[in-house]
Amino acid sequence: MKSYVLKRLLVAIPSLAIASIIVFTLPRLLPGDAVQLMVEEKAYGKDIDDLRAKLGLDRPIYVQYFAWLGNVARGNLGESLWTKRAVSEELARRLPVTLSLGVLAIFFALVMAIPIGILAAIRADTLRDYAARSVAILGLSVPGFWLATLVIILPAMWWGWTPILSFTEFSQDPAKYALQFVLPAAILGIASAAAIMRLTRAMLLEVLRQDYVRTAWSKGLSEGWVVLKHSLKNAVIPVVTILGIQLAQIFSGTVIIESIFGLPGMGRFLFDAILQRDYPVIQGINLLVVTVIVLMNLLVDMLYAVLDPRIRYS
Amino acid sequence: MQRPFDPRAISRREALTLGGGALAAAAIAPQLCTRPAMADTPKRGGTLSLRLWDPPHFDPHLTISYKTHILYTFTHSRLLKHKAGPGVAPGTFPIEGDLAESWSQPSETTYVFKLKKGVRWHNKPPVNGRELTADDVKYTFERFVAEKGNANHYMLAALERVEAVDKYTVKVMLKEPYVWFLDVVSNPMALCILPREAVEKFGDLKKPEAVIGTGPWMLDNYRPNAGATFVRHPGYFQAGLPYIDRVEMTVDEDNASRMAAFVAGKYDLGWEAAGTINRVDWVQLKDTLKQKRPKLQTLEFAANQMSHIYMRTDKPPFSDVRVRRAISLAFNRQGLLDAVAEGVGVLNPAVPAAFKEWSLPVDQLGEGAQYYKFDPARAKKLLAEAGYPNGFPATVSYATYGSTIQVDAVQLVLKYLKDVGIDAKANQQEYGAYIATTFYGKYESMAFGPQTPFLDPDNFLYGPYAPGELKNQAHVNDPVLTDMLVRQRRTADVQKRREVLYEIQRHLAKQQYYVYAPSGVYIGVWDGALKNYAPNLGYDWGGRVTAAWLDR
């Protein structure tokens, strides 16, 4: 197991190196740069050149890349071109918000998806199954931002009520801090829930048709015991795999959901940074996200062994 | 006109009645500017809730962002300021002293400001509530022009030097006469007076702890991407002011969320520029608001946000005035308003109609007024006379500015051009690319886009029309015009200056170097509990609520 983890970590290094080139290069391919946006329509030519030199953007791109990479290796993600604050400080402040939202979204996704998936599987081709699958397709089809907009607008129009839209720090009021994530996390979790539910249903159906399950039935075990004890554990391995993939989807969802619900997290920070061409911030966030996703996928792979003791790593 | 929840100040029908959309500010002024009654006795206390914007940082000399400059109007003072309150008609900017007790102009190029005594900085380190002096003013002027990266420094291009004559007297010397100097000093985009110690301690003023001013409120806390709280400055130099104890600013970047929050009563002012609500949202919301917030107050006033079609007037075919006039005649301005502004708006000469004191009504533009009519048949005739009976191919460069209204407007412009035979193709550019090229005149054919919403006519005229200016997008070189542009900058007598500006507008209506689109009419909206408040154009949110109070 240890050697497997070590091998995976070593393999992650070139992945991260390639990712670093991509996250460094892509924002620079966008037309316009931070300096042009900073001075907008009022600058004179000299201001632009001065500012570009001041921010180090006048150097060749490969020089900028290696300088940045060297700093990253020393744990320094650089500083925002706009605020001059350290990117790592900015991320440290925003990461908990995004993590809270993401973790709660996954929690909601699982809480919604697994029971409905089980129900749909054990009542396959019944009205309940059709209803569950229809809801799942709806969940996959409805964009989160549209749902979020409706959730905010309609209660305001009907009852003059809105969900919490101004952010409360954990230190100010822990209960309110947690409460403000409930609605955005539920909305964010819906699309993932739909995908997980469909997969849970499909995998459970497959497992339920296997011989050992038939044996369990013939032994006279209860439905709950057969499904939850003997079938579900084997069915959820692919679900755990998709959960790793869903992490990336959930993060991309935070970009819009955080803006709609006024949550000062990393997604919104990334959105603003892209608009402002704040390269160090874009690079820092993307590198962090890539790292987290690589590590989470490693964790998912390791979970297989926990779920299925027959799986061995060598 | 200020009214308890009457959603329309000028309807499309009223606009047409008043001249087919040729609404000059002077014509609408009597309608729009009925004075609200001064309400009751001022009350101390309360919290004003606003939707504002997250600033990129807090150094006003290192960003031109309105997001920073608006926040400074709560915390900082200027030498002079624009008067605010129900007595001031939107679109006018009468000047009064802020830190300056009085001022004089001993010569064409010299201004002397006498400062108020006993003005205290916020009691925050490293300034710790010391008294403001002439050295602070001198320091601010010098930093404004010297700081690399201050894209606003052109505003003080005429500055030669500043002297602190004594503790309370500042002398400013210009290189040449520039009669708009006092307007620049009053403008919240320019000279909020800053403390040297803060810059020395923090290196610059980007951090929130460096926000130390002499203004009516102090920055109490800043929550990045979330909001900020301002609390009353107990040592503010205007006795008894401000009345409002706290200002809560919320960052809200989603329109649906802003609308919902406003309907639910969470914001005291409209959520868009200058405390307004855009007309499209307003039309959707007004009935709901009538039920949910029946005491809302509204005031409509013309916007100074103005777009224009610009073209390479230094090259054929646009060097021919007949072609430019044809383009203006092909431009259905009322059609544009119908499509993007619910039919409500004002026609603009070269100085936006929003500036009541300086803008000439379109029907008084003389010979040039005829080119504001929508007359495609005549446009075709003019093109034929110019040697283009079948039109010509063209490209219209533009950026969307993230606005569907802008995209709709461009589509209409393309249609109008095609209707008279100009085969115009759209060239959409990303914002940064547009600003770096087209906006600075680096394009081949035509373009369409908004101008910066300045508060004075000089900025709308000198940059776009003076030869050699970077913002001369149309590459205009007209000696007669240039002479008038310089003359208005040197004419101190306001009436005479107005005459020069009128003459410029008449000349430009004939020449059509830029073909101006109409502007919308803003809807200023505020909670009925906010008294002694009136909206106006510009960034001075803080100035407009300094003497206002809440009567909840």
Q: What is the CA radius of gyration of chain B?
A: 24
Lowest mean pLDDT among A24-38, B36-50, B351-365, B462-476: A24-38
Whether B143 has its CB under 8 Å from any CB of chain A: the answer is: no
Rounded mean pLDDT of A285-304? Answer: 84
**Phi, psi (degrees; rounded to nearest 5) at B495:** -65, -40
pLDDT above 70 (res A235): yes
B5: left (phi over 0), alpha (psi -120 to 50) or beta: left
Rounded mean pLDDT of A215-234? Answer: 90
Determine which helix (DSSP H) or strand (DSSP E) holds B113, and give its type and residue range.
Answer: strand B110-115
Whether A16 has its CB under 8 Å from any CB of chain B: the answer is: no
Give residue B168's Cα distance to chain centre: 31
pLDDT above 50 (res B6): no
Encoding tokens for residue B186? 């009053």
pLDDT above 80 (res A37): no
Q: What is the pLDDT of residue B348?
A: 97
The answer to whether the CB atoms of A42 and B264 lie below 8 A apart is no
Lowest mean pLDDT among A28-42, B106-120, B223-237, B367-381: A28-42
Confidence band (pLDDT; 50, 70, 90) for A53? confident
Residue A270 contacts residue A27 (beta carbons within 8 Å) = no
Q: Which of A32, A40, A51 faces B149 most closely, judged by CB atoms?
A: A51
| Per-residue pLDDT tens digits for A138-157 | 888 888 889 998 998 899 88
DSSP assignment of B157-179: TTEEEEEEEETTEEEEEESS--T
Q: What is the pLDDT of residue B62?
A: 83
DSSP-derived 3-state class of residue A177? helix
pLDDT above 50 (res B504): yes
Q: What is the pLDDT of residue B417?
A: 97
Separation CA B203–CA B143 (nearest Å): 13
Q: Which residue has the higher pLDDT, B32 or A129?
A: A129
Whether B151 has its CB under 8 Å from any CB of chain A: the answer is: yes
Confidence band (pLDDT; 50, 70, 90) for B513? very high
Q: What is the pLDDT of residue B3?
A: 41
Q: What is the pLDDT of residue A294?
A: 84
Separation CA A176–CA A185 (nearest Å): 14
DSSP-derived 3-state class of residue B192? strand
Rounded mean pLDDT of B384-398? Answer: 96
The answer to whether the CB atoms of B430 and A156 lie below 8 A apart is no
Confidence band (pLDDT; 50, 70, 90) for B34? very low
Separation CA A40–CA A33 (nearest Å): 11
Q: What is the pLDDT of residue B469?
A: 85
Q: Which residue has the higher pLDDT, B12 or A284?
A: A284
Residue A106 contacts residue A243 (beta carbons within 8 Å) = yes
Q: How many residues does chain B have?
A: 552
Q: What is the pLDDT of residue A9?
A: 83
Q: What is the pLDDT of residue B426?
A: 94
Q: What is the pLDDT of residue B28?
A: 37
Q: What is the pLDDT of residue B15?
A: 35
Tell me what ipTM this predicted complex has.
Answer: 0.72
The answer, as to whether pTM is greater than 0.95, is no
Beta bridge partners of B81: B96
Confidence band (pLDDT; 50, 70, 90) for B88? very high
Alpha helices for B375-456 (secondary structure H): 376-385, 404-419, 431-436
Encoding tokens for residue B420? 């008279």
pLDDT above 50 (res B403): yes
DSSP assignment of B492-549: -SHHHHHHHHHHHHHHHHHH-SEEEPPEEEEEEEE-TTEES----SSS-HHHHHTT-E
pLDDT above 90 (res A313): no
pLDDT above 90 covers a percentage of chain B that reads 78
Lowest mean pLDDT among A89-93, A207-211, A297-301, B128-132: A297-301
Confidence band (pLDDT; 50, 70, 90) for A78? confident
Determine which helix (DSSP H) or strand (DSSP E) holds A20, and give its type and residue range.
Answer: helix A2-29
Q: Which residue has the higher pLDDT, B6 or A53?
A: A53
**Phi, psi (degrees; rounded to nearest 5) at B300:** -105, 140
Separation CA A260–CA A263 (nearest Å): 8
Residue A162 contacts residue A156 (beta carbons within 8 Å) = yes
Place of tokens 């107990």: B234
Encoding tokens for residue A125? 């081709």
Contacts (Cβ under 8 Å, ≥6 apart) of A171: none
Contacts (Cβ under 8 Å, ≥6 apart) of B140: B191, B192, B193, B194
- Supply the mean pLDDT for chain A: 85
Q: What is the pLDDT of residue B29?
A: 37
Rounded mean pLDDT of B364-376? Answer: 97
pLDDT above 60 (res A132): yes
pLDDT above 50 (res B35): no
Confidence band (pLDDT; 50, 70, 90) for B292? very high
| Per-residue pLDDT tens digits for B241-280 | 999 999 999 998 888 889 999 999 999 999 998 999 989 8
pLDDT above 70 (res A31): no
Lowest mean pLDDT among B136-150, B384-398, B405-419, B480-494: B136-150
The type of residue at B507 is: H
Whether B266 has its CB under 8 Å from any CB of chain A: the answer is: yes
CB atoms within 10 A of CB A18: 11
Q: What is the pLDDT of residue A168?
A: 87
Distance between first and last Cα of chain A: 6
The type of residue at B72 is: Y
The type of residue at A293 is: I
DSSP-derived 3-state class of residue B49? strand
**Phi, psi (degrees; rounded to nearest 5) at B174:** -105, 155
Q: What is the pLDDT of residue A200?
A: 93
- With CA atoms as reference, the chain B residue closest to A90 would be B224
Distance between first and last Cα of chain B: 23
Q: What is the pLDDT of residue B229?
A: 97
Q: Which residue has the higher pLDDT, B416 or A132?
A: B416
Q: Which of B158, B508, B550 is nearest to B349 (CA)?
A: B508
Q: Which of A155, A157, A268 faces B225 most closely, judged by CB atoms?
A: A268
pLDDT above 50 (res A291): yes
Q: Which of B100, B72, B265 is nearest to B170 (CA)?
A: B100
The answer to whether the CB atoms of B430 and A264 lie below 8 A apart is no
Q: Which of A30, A47, A156 faces B151 most closely, judged by CB atoms?
A: A47
Separation CA B422–CA B395 (nearest Å): 10
Cα separation values, A285 from A90, A91, A298, Å: 10, 7, 20
Q: Which of B148, B151, B257 faces A165 most closely, judged by CB atoms?
A: B257
pLDDT above 80 (res B33): no
Beta bridge partners of B297: B4, B526
Separation CA B303–CA B452 (nearest Å): 12
Q: Which of A198, A196, A202, A271 is nearest to A239 (CA)?
A: A196
Beta bridge partners of B52: B251
Q: What is the pLDDT of residue A39?
A: 62
Kindly list the residues from chain A whose CB atom is less than 8 angstroms away from the CB atom of residue B260.
152-153, 155-157, 162, 165
Q: What is the pLDDT of residue B432?
A: 67
